Structures are given as structure tokens and as C-alpha cells.
Structure 1
Amino acid sequence: MARLALHLDLLKEFADLEKPVRARVGEVFAKFEQATHAGLHLEKITGARDDRFRTIRIDQFYRGVVLAPDNGDTYVLLQVLPHDDAYEWAKRRKATVNLATGGIEIRDVAALDASLPHMKRIAQNATELLFDHVNDADLERLGIDEHTLPLVRTLTGTFQLEAARGLLPPVQWDVLFGLASGLSPEEVWAELGSAIVEGVDPQDLDAAVERSSDRVLLVEGPQELMAALEHPFDLWRIYLHPVQRSVVEASYRGPARVSGGPGTGKTVVALHRAHRLARAGGRVLLTTFTSTLAESLEANLRLLAEHDGAGDAEEVLSRIRVEHVDRSSHRIFREEHGQPALLQPPHERRLWERVIEELELDLSPAFLTEEWRQVILARQVESAPEYLSAKRDGRGRGLTALQRAQVWQAISGFQDLLREQGLWTYETIVEEAARLLAAREDRPFDHVVVDEAQDLHPGQWRLLRAAVAEGPDDLFIAGDTHQRIYGPRVSLAEVGVNIRGRSTRLRINYRTTAQILGWSLGLMRGEAVDDMDGGLDSVTDCRSEMRGSDPVLTGLTSAKAEMEHLVRTIGEWHEAGVLSGEIGVAARSNRSVEHVVAELERAGIPAVPLAKGQAATDAVSVGTMHRMKGLEFRCLAVVGAGEGQLPAPKSVTPKEEDPGAHARDLLRERSLLFVACTRARERLAVSWHGRPSPFIDAILT
């Protein structure tokens, strides 16, 4: 019985097809089993380099390219293209099986053959070749086959390897890139995160497809096919690269972490990890910082469970609680104490001012607030002697012993007022919830999986540590400290989470083009960002394999001119075939969001404010940079990126008031812009009126 598989490169490009063509593809392949059984519709290609390639008629203008096996019953739909393009694509390429991974590979043989004579001539005059230090046996063991090896032996520099990326299968290119970076063959294989498959049969396409879950989706019947084609990009996001799969499937002796730059698939890994642990029977908490992100996680988790194919999706989902950390802490708090009375910011400032006045101190409410949260609560300081010896890393302003005594006196007075008035803050609620959980004999979960971990504060980490007993696979953490826009600096070891020796870094960006990623990384260059484990983090090794247009940066003379420019930009995207639901606009403030929505609607462009982590499907989504976190758009415009707007003046503590808080606030504002820009998949437009933000000005000059 014929089975149909979809190559995931097709799914990435499927949304670009016109809607009638997409619908027709579904109709044709919904009847694929009967068509192949009758031997109809699949046509051989004259002059094809691979005689297993076939075409199938979609309509009068479009053809599908199908890989048909010599033996077996698995057919892979590789491309849907206009008639002539489909035949040209098929004539240039060949399908092979990687002899190391056993997975299926597609390569442009014609381009490879055409470039080889020129490369050989260059190599003849070179004093040293790029891979002289690696022997053929090691290359073969890593999956470099007879088709790729001749090119490998002509390369003289990494620039040539970069240029050859489009000619080679992705796994083989990754192997070569690792070797060129100075890694040993053993280290390269560890980086790829795959196990070598013994006894690979290069002719067994069915087995190769089964091993290629990172590149190929097997669909069971017309219903699953239509679901895949209706949501191609969503489906692409839940599939795993080998290094991601190795992290998901690993067994750890304790807490483990996966890190990486934007778009490297950390959230996808966290989702798969939670699903795998639940499939094994564990009670799992899947958590993150905000309700917006939690709702997005829950939606994608359901998508993953529905496409798992095991038939027990609801049972597995019933073992996973998706809940943001504050909601968890409030739930636990209410079980013991009932509804808390929350301290509101204006009232908090008045309490600090009262304490300062009574003690006649020369200290500001802002400084004391930060000292209380960043030192006293973060380090669970409970007495004056403890405070005198407490670390104050990152606070920026040194204190003498006398000044510490005065600060402690003020903070003690403030905490007394909270107790007298029965008031709680989010931080004190989570600390109390952590205490309550730690006192219980039974823990509510077997596993805790944390996404966007960089934004959690120490009290939230203590809560999560208390939610699961210490042991194998207890905590799994995903995050990128360069994208921290909420939480303070945290050392995991200090909150009882030891990840030493159990940390993996993802390096390949699957969302953003190399041009957008490169420009966005420039925003963070030179910034000292901690890694949550006692060291510094870096995103210099993050790379994208997708190519596209450079970001468009535009300075305008006025706010009105900037809005007119935004309308023109979105109009150009529409003319290029981009749907409104594939477009996002990011701004720094809620007021700016309201203004953008009004201006777009006035221009006849449907637009809605972004809410609850869900982008609109039939209108341009407009949201604050905070709201953009966890989302992605085919095209994104960032507006209001000017001096006086970014960093937002009210969000930055004056340097003279608290140098430490000032530095943290600036880094957070810079990270906000970085997060917003990396939501774009194909096109990024950044605009401002007046002078640009100092973050942008620094990389323009």
C-alpha cells in the first residue's frame, strides 16, 4: 500500500504558493494511494539524473516532483513548482542515503559538477587545502560520500565552504563546517547529536525515510495530509534536527539545560521534552514566565501531541500541566492562605517614602526597592549580620558597613509595614509558595520543563526546585540570556539547580535569514551577558542557513512621515504576495501600538492589537516588543526605534540614583529590540523619526 511523505523543505515553501494551487495539491494527493496503485499520473522524467524522480500533474501549470522507490511503498513529495521549473529542478538533483545517519539527502548534482573543474584549477595552485588534516576514512565515517568528497578535496578556505552550502546536503555541510572550525571528528559527531547507524542500505528508501524524521513527514491518510498542508509552517516548527532530538531523548542524572540564540529551536526542544516525559508516564509541569507564553506553549503542545501518531494524545496531555510560574505560586498560596492582598506600585513607593522620612535617610525609594528585590529577596537575607556579608553583584553602588546598616534598617521597617498591613508582592507570594512546597513530603511533579528560563527570578527558581524531588530528569531548562527582558541576573547553582556537565548549546537558527540574524546580533555585540552558571554567554556561534534580503533601516523626519513609510512598506509586502496575517509590527509602548493600529486602519490595512500571544490570521498584528516574545512573522516592521523612545526614558533608572539598576535597565531595553527584530523570518524593516536609538546608532557608525 502506497504511503506518502512530505519533505519539510516543501512545507517551508508551501505557504508561498497561491491558495488555489495549495488546495489543488491537497486534492491530488488525497487520492494518491489509488493513483499509485493504478500506476497513473506519475510520469518519468527524460534526462533525469535520478531515475526514481517522477512528476505528478497538479493543474495545467503546476507539477509536483515525487521520489518513487525502486522497492517499497513510500513516496516522498519533494517540490511543487511551475511545469518547466519542476522538470528543471528534478533534472539537476539526485536523492541519496547518508551512509552514516541512514537518512535521506537531496543534492544539486548539476551545480556540483559544474563548479568542480573550476575548483580543481584553484586547488592546484594552493599551498594548503582546507581539509588536508582530515583523512578520507574519517570523512566517510562522518557521512561524506563519493559525490561530495571530490569537492571537499578542492576547498582552500572557509569562504568556499560557505559558498558551497547550497550544493551539499545539510548534514554533510554541518560535518564539514565543524571540521573546518577545528573540531575533531569525534567532537563533530557529538555536535551533530546523532548516532552512527550500522549496516545502512543505500537503496532502501523506505528505511531512509523512517530515519529522516528531521527532514521528512510521513502522513497517514488524506485527513493527516490535509492537516499538514493547511498548517505547513506550524508543522515544520515541531520537527527536530538531530542535535535537538538527541537533547530531547537523553537521560540526565539531574537538572539539564539547552541554550542557544534566537530561532535555534529551544522552545521546540522544551515541548518535545515535556511530551516525551509524559509519554513515559511522568507528571510534568511545563512552565514559563508569562501567561502569553504559556498559552502559546499549550497550543503548540497540542499540535505536537496530535501529530505524534501514537493515538493517545489526550491521555498524554492529561499528564502535563502548562502553567506560568506566577499562576503556580498563586495557586499554591491560595490553597493555604486564601486570596492575597497585593501591594500596588504607588502604595509601595509611599511605604518606602514613609520609612525614609521616619529614619531620616539619604536614600531613594528606587534604590531601596532594587536592593530589597535584588539582594534581600533574591538571596533570602533574614538578618542584619547576613546582609552585612551578602553579595551585591551587579548593584553598581558600593556601600560601607554603616550604609549597609542604614539600608537594613530601612528594609526591615518596610517589611514590618507589609506584615502589619497584610500586604504581599509577587516576589513574596512565590517565596511563600516555595516554602509551602518544600515542606511537603510528596512533590506534585516528577519533571519540570522550563521555557524562557532567563526571565525567572531567584524565588521562582526556588519554587520550581521545590515542585520536583531531586533526581534523574528532574528539571529541564531552555533559555537564552541575551533575550532576558524581565528577570534579574540569576546563578542557577545558588538556587539549588546544578547543571554542570549537563548543558547543550544549539547553534543553527531555523527561523530567521542570515541577513536578519547577523544584523540583530550586532545589537548585542560587546555586551557582557551572564550564562546563569557563573560565566558569560555568547551568541557569536549562532548561524542561519537561510538567505534573504538585508534589513531595511529608515530614518524619517516626523512621526507622520514614519507612519506613511510603514503603510508603504506593508503595501509592498502585500504586493509581493505576503498576507496580512503573516505581518507583524512591533513598537515600544502600548500608546504607540494604538497609534499604529489607527493609522493602518485609516489607510485601509486591517490591523489588530496583539493579545495573549496569538497573532491574527487575517490582519496585521501590532504589539509591544514585550508581546512579540515567542512569536514569529514572515515580515516584521519595528517602528519608533528612535532616540527618546528606545530606550524608553521611564524604564531606565537614572545612573546617579542607582548605577547597577541603570546598567541592567539599558541591557534589558537593548534585549527588547533584539528580541523584536529576531521575530522576523524573511523581511525586517526598522524605522524611526529624528535621531536613531543609540543601540542602532552604535552599529550604523
Structure 2
Amino acid sequence: MKIPSLLDLEIEQHSVIDLPFRGSHVITGAPGGGKTVMAVYRAWALATAGRDVALFTRSNLLHQYLAQMAPDLTEALNVTTYHRWIREFWHRRFRTDPPTVDEDGWIYDWVEMQRECIVQRVGATAHLVIDEGQKLPVAFYRLCRLLGVGVTVCADANQPIGDDESTVSEICRALGLQADPLVLRDNHRTTREIAMLASEFREGTGDEIALPTRVGPTPTVRRVPSLKHFLAEVSRCFDAEPERSIGIICRSTHTLRDVQSELRRLGLSRHTQAYVHDDQYRSVINFSTRPIRIVSTASMKGLEFDSVFVPDLDAYTEDPTGVEARLRFLVMCTRAREDLHFAHRGPQEPAILSNIPESLLIRHPG
């Protein structure tokens, strides 16, 4: 885990910390811009000024990452999750669970919640700092405005938005903001080579992220006879630099468990952690120990690792020109700080990489 000190922050990052403590604000920028880091610093700045602050996101794994990112900053903060904050807020005010419209109780009845708050004249003085804010429903932001809650939202622009999610423009309208979002334009995470590969998967013509000046090895794709052969390369990488963080990103939980089993066979179990939502044995990751971490594509957002390995390219069989497929690879690439490695076992390189120029991706036929 690497978080820059205040002295190491760039001018555009200090502009996030220096935003007014009153009102609501939106920060955006493409992957690598430092939104997660700035969410932590923004919450810390508000807490230092004596504000009642909650820092949260929708993803449970990213919540763990935020809480552990900088103990000296986050120990004074309420670091929680979206659902937990809503339920605790509602229970404090109404002594009951929030109204929902689904059997499982995770989709809230926002119309009823607004009505209850108006009738009971409920307000709040807290300030919320939200990472990955595009993952929350627009009705949540409308409720925040109704309650008078100040919100600082860090959100990705130019992303496809699914049900119960929000675009940056929708968030701004829901919060009643007139000013444009603050845009983090510089890539503070990856090398130039990784950023150039990631740019091949970008959609739209929104605000551009400048290419970093820091250089490193060109990303690779390799045909391997088996998962065992590919993970032997992971083992060699770990042996060479045991302090380097390694992320292994899998498409499915089945592959994730196979990877964990194979690393155990290679004698790396005490250096390895895996995350699977709702799995009691794989639901917590300590980001300060065990530098090899296995996650799924569903949980990778907001995380970063020195080295990233993708062992199962054959599983990505959807239309490679689709927005969702391209976004997935954009996010996957930008999890890596230093080096990036793909592998496939089939005879043909997956279509989503087949048109990538040789200058951006080194190919090893096996």
C-alpha cells in the first residue's frame, strides 16, 4: 500500500483538499488520476477541521482498502460502506430499517424515504466523502440534498452506467451543483507503457489523462500450456522481489480458487490472500501483509498493485468492441503500477488484444 505524503501531492491534488468545507463537490478523472487517494485526504481534511465525516464506497473490498490505506489518516474517520451508512442513519432517526422494494432488502424505497424525512423534518450535518460515486443510485444523492448533507464525490466519467448507478452529470444535477466537476488530469499510478496500453481501451472523447513520464517494461501476453506454468512465473516474480505487491485478477470465482490452490502447492500460501464476496474464508484482506492478492474483476475497482497478472484471458469471450468489455480491460490495466502480464491457453490470442500494436504489447507464443 502506497499513499503519498502531503508534501508529495501535486498542485491539482491539493486543490481537492482545499475545496470549501461547506456544500457539495464532485471530483472526476480517468483511472490513475488518484481519486481514491484524494478521497482519503479530503475526508481527513474535513475531520481535522472538526466536521462529522463518513468516508465510504459501495464495494466491501474497496472499503477495506480505504480503511487500511493510511492508518494515521483514517483512524480519526468513520470509514464504512454505502449500505451500512444508510442503515445506521435510518435506524438512528427512525428506530427501524429503511424501507425497501425487494425481498432481499437491498434496494431502497427512495420515495418513501424522502416522504418520511420531510414529514419528520429530518436533517443532517454530516459530510460524506464517497469513492467510486458512480456506483450509487442518483436517488441517494437527491436524498442527501434534501437532508442538507454535504457530499464530496469521487467518480469516474465516461463509464457505462447500469441499474442503480449514476453518471457524473446526474450526480451534479441531483446535488444541485452549478460548477463543473474538478478534474484530476494526471496519471499518478502507472508507467507510461501501461498507460499507453490502457488508452487503447478508452471510450469517448472526455477529459484526457496525460501520459505519465515514468517508464517501465512493456506489458506482455503469453500463451501457456497450463495455469501451473503461468503461476510459476508469478512465483519467480515474488522470489525476485518479495516486498513487491502482486495482484492476480481472475474473471471467475472458480479460477480464483484454482489459482489459490496452485499457489498453495507452490509453497506460497502464507504469502497469499484471496477475496470472494460472501465467502467466510476469503472475505477479508489485510493490505499490509501477504503481498500476493487474488481478486476478481468484480472487486478490482479502486485497487492497485506493483505487478498485475491476468491468468485467464480465454474467459473473456464477449464482443471485444463492446463498451463493457473495453472498460473492464481499461480498469484491469490501470491496476498495475510497474508491470502487467496476460496469459491464455487457447491456440488464438483473445480478440480483445489481437489488434493491439506490437509496440504496446509484447507477445510470447509459448
In structure 2, distance between residues paired with 1:602 and 1:593: 14
In structure 1, distance between residues paired with 2:73 and 2:40: 8
Alignment counterpart, residue 295 of structure 1, candidates 32, 39, 64: 64
Runs of 4+ in 1 over 6 A off after TM superposition: 340-343, 483-486
Alignment counterpart, residue 316 of structure 2, candidates 641, 646, 666: 646
Q: TM-score, normalised by structure 2?
A: 0.80
User: What corresponds to 1:688 in structure 2?
Assistant: 344
User: What corresponds to 1:620 in structure 2?
Assistant: 292
User: What corresponds to 1:324 in structure 2?
Assistant: 81
Q: Which segments of 5 or more consecutive residues in structure 2 lack a partner in the other structure?
A: 276-282, 359-366
In structure 2, distance between residues paired with 1:590 and 1:599: 14
The one-letter amino acid paired with 2:195 is L
| Residue 552 (structure 1) shift | 0.7
| Residue 621 (structure 1) shift | 1.2
In structure 2, distance between residues paired with 1:464 and 1:647: 40
Q: Which residues of 2 match residues 333-352 of structure 1 at below 5 A?
A: 333-334=90-91, 336=94, 338=96
Check conservation: 1:485, 1:672, Cα contact below 8 A: no
- The answer to whether structure 1 residue 537 and structure 2 residue 167 are counterparts is no
In structure 1, distance between residues paired with 2:254 and 2:210: 34
Let me know the Cα RMSD of the aligned residues: 3.4
User: What corresponds to 1:52 in structure 2?
Assistant: none
The one-letter amino acid paired with 2:62 is L
In structure 2, distance between residues paired with 1:595 and 1:648: 22
User: What corresponds to 1:499 in structure 2?
Assistant: 177
In structure 1, distance between residues paired with 2:104 and 2:268: 45
The one-letter amino acid paired with 2:343 is S
The one-letter amino acid paired with 2:185 is R
Alignment counterpart, residue 16 of structure 2, candidates 224, 233, 247: 247
Alignment counterpart, residue 585 of structure 1, candidates 232, 244, 248: 248
Instruction: Give the 3 Å change call, closer, same or farther, for CA 618–638 of structure 1 in structure 2.
Output: same
Q: Which residues of 2 match residues 149-164 of structure 1 at below 5 A?
A: none
Instruction: Give the 3 Å change call, closer, same or farther, for CA 503–485 of structure 1 in structure 2.
Output: closer
User: What corresponds to 1:697 in structure 2?
Assistant: 354
User: What corresponds to 1:447 in structure 2?
Assistant: 127
In structure 1, distance between residues paired with 2:213 and 2:253: 35
The one-letter amino acid paired with 1:646 is Y
Alignment counterpart, residue 630 of structure 1, candidates 274, 286, 302: 302
Q: Which segments of 5 or more consecutive residues in structure 1 lack a partner in the other structure?
A: 1-230, 306-313, 344-417, 529-535, 650-662
User: What corresponds to 1:519 in structure 2?
Assistant: 197
Instruction: Give the 3 Å change call, closer, same or farther, for CA 278–604 of structure 1 in structure 2.
Output: closer
| Residue 567 (structure 1) shift | 2.2
Instruction: Give the 3 Å change call, closer, same or farther, for CA 647–700 of structure 1 in structure 2.
Output: farther
Alignment counterpart, residue 271 of structure 1, candidates 40, 62, 67: 40
Question: CA offsets, 1:196-244, max 9 Å, x none?
Answer: xxxxxxxxxxxxxxxxxxxxxxxxxxxxxxxxxxx8x345599421221
In structure 2, distance between residues paired with 1:621 and 1:513: 21
The one-letter amino acid paired with 1:675 is V
| Residue 605 (structure 1) shift | 3.1
Check conservation: 1:548, 1:682, Cα contact below 8 A: yes
Query: Any idea what SS the aligned residue of 1:553 has?
Result: strand
Alignment counterpart, residue 157 of structure 2, candidates 481, 496, 501: 481
Check conservation: 1:258, 1:504, Cα contact below 8 A: yes
Check conservation: 1:434, 1:459, Cα contact below 8 A: no
Instruction: Give the 3 Å change call, closer, same or farther, for CA 438–238 of structure 1 in structure 2.
Output: farther
In structure 2, distance between residues paired with 1:286 and 1:466: 20
The one-letter amino acid paired with 2:296 is T
User: What corresponds to 1:151 in structure 2?
Assistant: none
- The answer to whether structure 1 residue 555 and structure 2 residue 223 are counterparts is yes
| Residue 588 (structure 1) shift | 0.8
In structure 1, distance between residues paired with 2:70 and 2:7: 9
Q: TM-score, normalised by structure 1?
A: 0.44
Query: Any idea what SS the aligned residue of 1:674 has?
Result: helix
In structure 2, distance between residues paired with 1:494 and 1:249: 19
| Residue 264 (structure 1) shift | 1.7
Alignment counterpart, residue 573 of structure 1, candidates 223, 237, 246: 237
Query: Any idea what SS the aligned residue of 2:295 has?
Result: strand
| Residue 669 (structure 1) shift | 3.9
Check conservation: 2:141, 2:171, Cα contact below 8 A: no
User: What corresponds to 2:214 in structure 1?
Assistant: 546
| Bigger relative contact order, structure 1 or 2 (CA pairs below 8 A, ≥6 apart) | 2
Q: Which residues of 2 match residues 285-434 of structure 1 at below 5 A?
A: 285-300=54-69, 302-304=71-73, 317=76, 320-334=77-91, 336=94, 338=96, 423=103, 425-429=105-109, 432-434=112-114
Alignment counterpart, residue 266 of structure 2, candidates 585, 603, 608: 603
Q: Which residues of 2 match residues 163-312 of structure 1 at below 5 A?
A: 233-234=2-3, 236=5, 239-251=8-20, 254-300=23-69, 302-304=71-73
| Residue 432 (structure 1) shift | 4.2
The one-letter amino acid paired with 1:298 is A
Check conservation: 1:285, 1:447, Cα contact below 8 A: yes
Query: Any idea what SS the aligned residue of 1:445 has?
Result: coil
| Residue 329 (structure 1) shift | 2.4
**Paired residue total:** 345
User: What corresponds to 1:15 in structure 2?
Assistant: none
Instruction: Give the 3 Å change call, closer, same or farther, for CA 321–523 of structure 1 in structure 2.
Output: same
